[in-house]
Structure 1
Amino acid sequence: MSTTDETRARSCVSCGINISGTNAAAFKCPDCGVQIFRCAKCRKQSNLYECPDCGFTGP
């Protein structure tokens, strides 16, 4: 795993905060299957996210 992948894996894709040890959601991108992490605050506020690999956007 590269440094970029490691940073991405520990950060909310919407706001960029470190999600280690938080109540974050992990799911696969509906288009390409890449693992995406979102913090509880962004999920609750329905902030948009964009897949870093394919550009898919969702609520």
Structure 2
Amino acid sequence: MSQSQQQERQCVSCGINIAGMSAARFKCPDCGQVIFRCAKCRKQSNLYECPDCGFMGP
């Protein structure tokens, strides 16, 4: 597994491995990069930053 594939399976907010968890998968509003967030970070409305373009969202 490449490093980019491994990063895709991590919450972009807290960095935990989200494999097998209830997680959100969505595209960055600016560049379209696929972003993953764990349920805990979504519930707490933790900020996230797109690893490709730097877009920040709640």
- Output the TM-score relative to the length of structure 1: 0.93
Distance 2:51 2:14 in 1: 13
Written as runs of structure 1 = structure 2, the 5 A alignment for 1:1-59 is 3-59=2-58
AA aligned to 2:28 is: C
- What is the aligned-residue identity percentage? 72
- In structure 2, stretches of 5+ residues that fail to align are none
| Runs of 4+ more than 2 Å apart | none
Distance 1:4 1:55 in 2: 19
Instruction: Give the C-alpha shift of residue 5 in structure 1.
Output: 1.2
Alpha carbon RMSD of aligned pairs, Å?
1.1
- Output the TM-score relative to the length of structure 2: 0.95
Distance 2:15 2:6 in 1: 10
AA aligned to 2:42 is: R
Instruction: Give the C-alpha shift of residue 7 in structure 1.
Output: 1.6
Instruction: Give the C-alpha shift of residue 4 in structure 1.
Output: 2.6
